[in-house]
Amino acid sequence: MQVVVVDDGSEDDTARICEEYQGIAGLTLLRHPENRGLGRAINTGLRWAVTRAHADTVIVTMDADDTHDPALVPQMAAKIRQGYDVVIASRYQAGGEQVGLSRVRKILSWGASALLGRLFRLEGVKDYSSGFRAYRAGILQKAFDHYEENFIEARGFDCMAEILLKLRSFNVRFAEVALVLRYDRKTGASKMPVFETVCNYLFLARRVARLDDRS
């Protein structure tokens, strides 16, 4: 196992603490000099990983704010080895839950996934916005080769849905495992601009739908 931390221009002790573990715990630190948004951070991490991975390597993305339980990783990796290409830790599977999230945020998250699910109907996907995922490296390699710099265009939280919608053209097999999102463990205020994120999801759905109409 190798751990990769993308420090997206943080102003806390993230970089200093990670530097202490480099070379000790198989940790690699990738730094952005300024905050570029979740989409750029995910792009940086995934690009770094796929250039060093074999096609069947399992690449996991997760938030670093203690809301995602790493104990799910073996279960997610096992599903990749069973033949799935993308495995999502989902709040909407049986046993999934969101602890400590406001009612408004719960409704918005569910609404975004429900909208995208109704429009695009990806088999095996209920949670389009969860960032806790396992990918088969070969699928990501195909996406980066095909889309090049345009694979992950979104800079905000809608990048997670964008990845799924762009991967579907590669006959990807999706699966989910139940996630208990522990938002009560998160320290500090959320960085998600709620209204902007909702608008971005709507624009994303419209843009992808137009691309489908042209193909």
Helices 38-50 + 159-167 axis angle, to 10: 40
Spatial CB neighbours of 162, under 8 Å, sequence gap ≥ 6? 39, 152, 153, 154, 204, 208
Say what the pTM is: 0.90
Rounded Cα gap, residues 162 and 204, in angstroms: 7
What count of Cα atoms within 13 Å lies in the side-chain half-sphere of residue 88?
25
Domains and CATH numbers, the chain: 1-35 (no CATH), 38-214 (3.90.550.10)
What is the pLDDT tens value at each position of the chain, 215 positions in all? 899 999 999 999 999 999 988 877 789 999 999 999 999 999 999 999 999 999 999 999 999 899 999 999 999 999 999 999 999 999 999 999 999 988 887 888 888 888 888 888 899 999 999 999 999 999 999 999 999 999 999 998 889 999 999 999 899 999 999 999 999 998 766 666 666 776 777 777 777 766 665 55
Q: In terms of DSSP H, where are the helices of 71-182? A: 73-81, 103-120, 137-147, 159-167
Query: Rounded CA gap, 92 and 168, in Å?
Result: 20
